[in-house]
Amino acid sequence: MKRLRQSRRIPGLLALVLGAGIALAGLVYPSLAKAQGTIEAIKIEGSQRIEPETVRSYLSVKPGDSYDVEKVNASLKSLFATGLFADVTLRREGDTLVVRVVENPIVNRVAFEGNRKIESKNMEGEVSLRARVVYTRTKVQNDTKRILDLYRRSGRFAATVEPKIIQLDQNRVDVVYEINEGAVTAVSSIRFIGNRAYNDSKLRAAIQTKETAWYRIFSTDDNYDPDRLTFDRELLRRFYLREGYADFRVVSAVAELTPDRSSFFITFTVDEGDRYKFGVVDLSTQFKTLDLNALRGSVIAVEGNWYNADLIEKTITKLTDAVGDLGFAFVDIQPTIDRDRDKKVINVTFDIQEGPRVFVERIDIVGNYRTLDRVIRREFRLVEGDAFSTAKLRRSRQRVQNLGFFKKVDVSNVPGTDPDKTVVQVEVEEQSTGEISVGAGFSSSEGALADLSVRERNLLGRGQDLRTKFRVSQKTTEFDVGFTEPYFLDRDLSAGIDLFRVTRDNTDTSSYELKAIGGGFRLGYSITENLRHTTRYVLRQDEITNIDADASRFIREQEGSSITSLVGYTLFYDRLDNRQDPTDGYYLSFSQDFAGLGGDVQYLKTKAGGGTYWPIPVWDKWIFSLTGEAGYMTGLGERVRINDRFFLGGDNFKGFATGGVGPRDTVTQDALGGQRFYVGTAELTFPLGFPDELGVSGKAFTTVGSAWGASEDSEPGVADPKTPRASIGVGAAWKSPFGPIRIDLAKAVVKQDFDQTQFFHFSFGTRF
């Protein structure tokens, strides 16, 4: 019975609602409730800036139409939807439809108050309201939310924004956002659930978000950022895939805000799954003329090793480059993954197929407000009309990034006007390229030092490099200025000019002072993608002065000034992953200088060097390197002056003092320098357990080398053996915010009695 009574009430309630709706419609539109008669005229009231005809254009009715409630309602909605009006009413006066509007005000200006961490100009680009834009409450609400989002992305979840509207004459308003930025919302704890193979500390190192700590004062990674948390999920996935956990997944990542809104607790729940090894790794292709055996050297993944998803991607890259070098421009390499869950192995077959024949239709560049288009285009390995190549596109992006002009470089391709065409889209975000730096520090070889330099690496947006530098230390005063045009005459030909003046105090090592002034110019070009050739000409005047009274006679004989006119060249082959901080790859260099094109000095100097770096697979961030250099020079009919010779020790041979290795006057103990030398270092770089963002690493090294040949013939009173010397040592390096700092403790284990050693070596530099 209860259900029956309820069902009987429903029709009555529905009738009541409908009746109320009809009555309300009669109240709101008393003269429109009757759908009879025609509209003879439409009258617009209240419009100021907006023309009446513009208002009429938004109506669904026009003169001559019959009164229709639905069309009138549609007209009302259409007028509100324009966002131009704060209020709209429609009424009927006889046969006339009267439309009264209240226009939204116009924004006179938008201001931000209380903001210190985010500049006003940055927020102006994010909000929709600005001067001469129609004001609406919806826009204010959306802009308020957008400003709060900006602060939350910078880690300030306690920030508040209160918009204030100031009414002005002529229906204008000022919009003022009063901001209370609040404190940074830090990450106080990061925990993991479900991890068995790796502890929490190891996984914290794998993600970008960090727990707050006193030493992270120069980092924002300990500020909560929801976008960064999403990126951390991907970083965790990549970490486990590198370690062989092919079934790994992040179940959830939860960030909990403390009641006082001061910090977050982040919890990752993970499912590691099983660990796999590589099974059979093979190649297949549909190209009949392609020799697969010639490509197997490009396969990095090895059967029996732990599965690593990064090796799959690197193998695809190497295979793409190798197949392209063999003349196959259109290739598509797809890895086929066969997972054997019982044996815990993953078999991989790289299938080399013919890719679609696609050509570059055009290259679009955006975001370069200062840098000229041609500066970016000349770094591209692709031009309009070329066959599209993913490898060349990737290399082009790397070359643009290596310019150092842009904070971000995104390169992608989208379909063109035809199926066989593609458009390369380049989006860059420019960064400051001007540098004004003041430096101070201490070096074991130079003593206290300071320098001032001004540099612009992208002069007038043309990619040109202009620099000036002044450096003074206890032993050296140096001033130089240089200019480089990287693409001289719009060709891959760098041209530069240098001017310098140097004063160096060598009284501690060789009992004299050197003054040098001069200049030169240089030209460089790429022979191949990795091989570069640079030629140079230098003209300088050297003066050897202030020779001690008890200095070696070989030094006293060289007192006075001389003019050197030399031409030289350098070949440099670079296969390093990062030239500034290499962890993998190798480099080779060879250079020669010939002095004698005029001037007072004649000699031929030859130098060769190289280095190779290997990351140790079983230990993360352990790098082993071998570097070495050797040189030979000979005077052409005259003795080589002391300031042109080779000196070993200090920075280039730790364990020995500056100039501590090589020929020496046995009576005065002055270092005379050698005409031949070699030095080689084996070094192991390893983490010391500090957080990665501190940039602290340990060093263990051994160096072997020698310098000899003070003259072509043996001289009485000169110790000049070519026997090797050796040292071993340990050290620590810190990439501090103030500049690089390195401390080394090295012991000379193989030396001559007259060599000068140095156990402690310290260097420090700062920029502010």
pLDDT digits (tens, 9 = 90+) for 241-283: 989 999 999 999 999 988 877 888 999 999 999 999 999 999 9
Looking at residue 134, what is its pLDDT?
87
Confidence band for 30, pLDDT divided at 50, 70 and 90: very low
- The one-letter code for the residue type at 259 is P
Looking at residue 145, what is its pLDDT?
92
DSSP code of residue 135? P
Looking at residue 488, what is its pLDDT?
87
As to burial, measured by CB atoms within 10 angstroms (0-12 exposed, 13-18 middle, 19+ buried), residue 710 is: buried
User: Which range, 65-79, 277-291, 414-428, 622-636, is most confident?
Assistant: 622-636
Q: In this structure, which topology does domain 31-103 adopt according to CATH?
A: Ubiquitin-like (UB roll) (3.10.20)
Confidence band for 17, pLDDT divided at 50, 70 and 90: very low
Q: How far is CA 700 from the centre of its chain?
A: 29
The β-bridge partners of 250 are 270
Domain 277-354 has CATH 3.10.20.310: yes
Domain 434-764 has CATH 2.40.160.50: yes
What dotted CATH number matches 186-271?
3.10.20.310
Q: What's the 3-state SS for 309-372?
A: HHHHHHHHHHHHHHHHHCCCCCEEEEEEEEEECCCCEEEEEEEEEECCCCEEEEEEEECCCCCC
Residue 442 to residue 735: CA distance in whole angstroms: 16
Residue 643 to residue 453: CA distance in whole angstroms: 26
The β-bridge partners of 513 are 505, 545
360 or 572, greater pLDDT: 572
Q: Are 683 and 700 in contact (CB under 8 A)?
A: yes
| Cα-Cα-Cα-Cα dihedral sign, residues 316, 317, 323, 327 | positive
pLDDT-wise least confident of 384-388, 564-568, 595-599, 630-634:
384-388
For domain 359-430, which architecture applies?
Answer: Roll (3.10)
Looking at residue 712, what is its pLDDT?
55
Do you know the residue count of the chain? 768
Residue % of the chain over a pLDDT of 70? 89
Looking at residue 437, what is its pLDDT?
54
Looking at residue 233, what is its pLDDT?
93
Report the half-sphere exposure of 515 (CA within 13 A, side-chain side).
8
Count of CB atoms within 10 A of residue 519's CB? 16
C-alpha distance from residue 486 to each of 121, 454, 524, 735 (Å): 34, 19, 9, 29
Q: Write out the two tokens for 175.
A: 């919009």
pLDDT-wise least confident of 96-110, 531-545, 709-723:
709-723
DSSP code of residue 64? T
Q: Closest Cα to residue 448, out of 458, 459, 439?
A: 439
Compute φ and ψ for 91, nearest 5 degrees: -145, 165
H or E element in which residue 238 lies? helix 226-242
Alpha helices in 1-136 (DSSP H): 2-28, 52-57, 69-81, 120-124
pLDDT-wise least confident of 35-39, 259-263, 294-298, 511-515:
35-39
Looking at residue 739, what is its pLDDT?
57
Residue % of the chain over a pLDDT of 90? 28
Residue 278 to residue 345: CA distance in whole angstroms: 6
Looking at residue 384, what is its pLDDT?
87
Q: Where are the domains of the chain?
A: 1-27, 31-103, 106-180, 186-271, 277-354, 359-430, 434-764
H or E element in which residue 137 lies? helix 137-153
Count of CB atoms within 10 A of residue 712's CB? 11
| pLDDT at position 605 over 90 | yes
Confidence band for 33, pLDDT divided at 50, 70 and 90: very low
Confidence band for 451, pLDDT divided at 50, 70 and 90: low
For residue 194, give the 3-state DSSP assignment. coil
| pLDDT tens, residue by residue, 707-758 | 998 865 556 778 888 899 999 999 998 877 655 678 899 999 999 988 988 8
User: What residues have CB less than 8 Å from 403, skipping those under 6 apart?
Assistant: 375, 379, 458, 463
| pLDDT at position 112 over 90 | yes
The reported pTM is 0.60
Residue 457 to residue 697: CA distance in whole angstroms: 30
Looking at residue 244, what is its pLDDT?
92
The β-bridge partners of 610 are 588, 628
| pLDDT at position 35 over 50 | no
| pLDDT tens, residue by residue, 154-174 | 778 888 899 999 988 888 999
Q: Are 480 and 498 in contact (CB under 8 A)?
A: yes
Looking at residue 443, what is its pLDDT?
53
User: Which range, 51-60, 157-166, 594-603, 604-613, is most confident?
Assistant: 604-613
| pLDDT at position 404 over 90 | no
Residue 258 to residue 183: CA distance in whole angstroms: 14
Looking at residue 25, what is its pLDDT?
43
Q: Closest Cα to residue 716, out of 483, 594, 591, 553?
A: 553
Q: Are 719 and 648 in contact (CB under 8 A)?
A: no
Looking at residue 14, what is its pLDDT?
36
C-alpha distance from residue 625 to each of 610, 615, 761 (Å): 11, 9, 20
Q: Are 640 and 566 in contact (CB under 8 A)?
A: no
Report the half-sphere exposure of 390 (CA within 13 A, side-chain side).
17
| pLDDT at position 548 over 80 | no
| pLDDT at position 760 over 90 | no
Q: Are 351 and 330 in contact (CB under 8 A)?
A: no
148 or 404, greater pLDDT: 148
Q: Are 105 and 83 in contact (CB under 8 A)?
A: no
Confidence band for 37, pLDDT divided at 50, 70 and 90: confident
User: What residues have CB less than 8 Å from 319, skipping those under 6 apart?
Assistant: 283, 295, 298, 299, 333, 350, 352
Confidence band for 2, pLDDT divided at 50, 70 and 90: very low
H or E element in which residue 496 lies? strand 493-505
Confidence band for 29, pLDDT divided at 50, 70 and 90: very low
Looking at residue 252, what is its pLDDT?
93
Long-range contacts of 157-166 (CB under 8 A, 24+ apart): 157/182, 157/185, 157/224, 157/257, 157/261, 158/182, 158/183, 158/185, 158/261, 158/262, 165/135, 165/140
| pLDDT tens, residue by residue, 281-334 | 999 888 877 878 888 888 888 889 999 988 898 888 888 878 876 767 677 888
Looking at residue 449, what is its pLDDT?
62
Residue 196 to residue 77: CA distance in whole angstroms: 60
C-alpha distance from residue 265 to each of 5, 233, 641 (Å): 54, 16, 68
Say if 106-180 and 434-764 have the same CATH topology. no
Q: Are 645 and 633 in contact (CB under 8 A)?
A: yes
| pLDDT at position 768 over 60 | no
396 or 17, greater pLDDT: 396
72 or 620, greater pLDDT: 72
E-only strand ranges, 383-430 = 406-415, 421-430
- The one-letter code for the residue type at 405 is F
Confidence band for 559, pLDDT divided at 50, 70 and 90: confident
Residue 176 to residue 165: CA distance in whole angstroms: 6
What dotted CATH number matches 106-180?
3.10.20.310
5 or 239, greater pLDDT: 239
Residue 594 to residue 604: CA distance in whole angstroms: 5
Looking at residue 295, what is its pLDDT?
85
| pLDDT at position 394 over 90 | no
Report the half-sphere exposure of 252 (CA within 13 A, side-chain side).
6
Q: Write out the two tokens for 239.
A: 């970490």
Q: Are 397 and 409 in contact (CB under 8 A)?
A: yes
| pLDDT at position 61 over 60 | yes
216 or 703, greater pLDDT: 703
| pLDDT at position 31 over 50 | no
Q: If you average pLDDT over every residue of the chain, what do you get?
A: 83
| pLDDT at position 93 over 50 | yes
327 or 615, greater pLDDT: 615
Q: Are 179 and 147 in contact (CB under 8 A)?
A: yes
| pLDDT at position 578 over 60 | yes
